[in-house]
Every structure is written in structure tokens, then in C-alpha cells.
A and B are shown apart, each in its own frame.
Chain A
Amino acid sequence: AQSVSQHNHHVILSEAASLELGCNYSYGGTVNLFWYVQYPGQHLQLLLKYFSGDPLVKGIKGFEAEFIKSKFSFNLRKPSVQWSDTAEYFCAVNPFMYNDMRFGAGTRLTVKP
């Protein structure tokens, strides 16, 4: 079965700082990749997804992620974070042709105003 590893458990940044959250997965086949965000008290929301094509994908709220196949990585980035980005971020992997999505442990992001 596939597994997903997120490098940081808790990241603390000041507003306007740049963000990069690491995500690595292990799975031998083709995968669909996702980043979800969970704001305090809210449900999981999709930030962005990669299915195929351009490995640099853009999502909502200025987030982007880069798929590097050779490194089995799908890192999330944002050039300048805002206080409202305070949330928990989850990387997820779904094998192509299956619906068996596995999540990383999550990274809690705290942005100080």
C-alpha cells in the first residue's frame, strides 16, 4: 500500500514569509496527488491537485505545488503567507484508477501577524 510522509509537523512563520511544505510518497505506479487544507473548525478543502501534464500546479489562494517524479515528491509552496493561512495542511496520494486515498500526518501552519 502507498504511504505519504510530510516532513514538518508544525511550522511557524511570520506574515509575508515564504512557505514550503514537504511531501514524499511511496508507490510504484501512477498516482494522483493532492494537497488539502483544514482551517480551524472547518472541513477539509482541496487546495490543489495533480493528475498529469505540467508538474507545476497552481491552486487556490496563491498556493502552488511541484511534482518531481524522480524524487516521489509533491511539495507545497506559497511566496508570501498571510495570517489567514493558519491551518493544517495534508498531502494525499491516490493511485491512478483506484480510489484509495492515503494522507500524510499533516503539517500545522501557524502564521504570526
Chain B
Amino acid sequence: KAGVTQTPRYLIKTRGQQVTLSCSPISGHRSVSWYQQTPGQGLQFLFEYFSETQRNKGNFPGRFSGRQFSNSRSEMNVSTLELGDSALYLCASSLEVGEGNTEAFFGQGTRLTVV
């Protein structure tokens, strides 16, 4: 069974640009969550999508957005990049293993560097 696939693995962008990251969940998983991981702030929850709808959102500015397609693949977009957006962006797909119980599986991440 293929795992969570994130593309690209590495990305270098310039301040002010925008970037789109992609995530393909494990087959059959309908929930996709995004996280930002930095040495200073650790793992921070960005948002979660389920059946093409954003269900939960973390405390990030509106420059961070996402979407989910009918095949559960998800993209996240960051506009007007800032140096502080340099981070590892992780995607997780989730399976409901019982009513209300979810288990998340993580991808390798996309390392974004803003220069």
C-alpha cells in the first residue's frame, strides 16, 4: 500500500512569490491535514480537509490556504512568501478506525526555503 506522497520534496522560492505544494493521501483516506514544522515552533497545525471541505483550521494568516479534490488529493498554497515561511510542510492522511477515532499517516514533507 503506497504511503502519503508529497511533491515536490524540496523547493526554493523568493520572498513575495507564491508556492503550491501537493499531497496524495493513502488510497481510501478521505481526510488530509497539513502541518508546518520549524525548529522554533515545532509542528503546527495548518488545516484539515475532508471530502473537499475545510473542517478545521489552525492559527495561520490567510496567506496560507488549501483545497482538496474529489480524489482526496490536496494542495496547499502560500502567497506572498516571507522568510519566516521557510519550513518543512507535512501532509497527513487519516483513516477513521472507529467512530470518532482517527489515525494519521505522514508524508516525507516538502522542505520550503524562502530566500
Contact = CB atoms under 8 A, between A and B. Distances in A.
B83 interface: no
A80 to B, nearest CB: 27
Interface in B49-70: 50, 55-56
A45 B98 CA distance: 20
A90 interface: yes
The main secondary structure of chain A at its interface with chain B is loop
Of the four ranges (under 10, 10 to 19, 20 to 34, 35 or more), the interface on chain A belongs to 20 to 34
A39 B39 CA distance: 15
Given A99-B31, A99-B33, A99-B55, A44 B90 contact: yes
A46 B103 contact: yes
Contacts of B35: 103
Given A99-B48, A99-B50, A103-B42, A51 B56 contact: no
Interface of B: 31, 33, 35, 42-45, 48, 50, 55-56, 90, 92, 94, 97-109
24 contacts: A30-B100, A32-B101, A32-B102, A34-B103, A34-B104, A42-B108, A44-B92, A44-B106, A45-B106, A46-B103, A46-B104, A51-B98, A94-B104, A96-B100, A97-B99, A97-B100, A99-B50, A99-B56, A99-B94, A100-B56, A101-B45, A103-B43, A104-B42, A106-B42
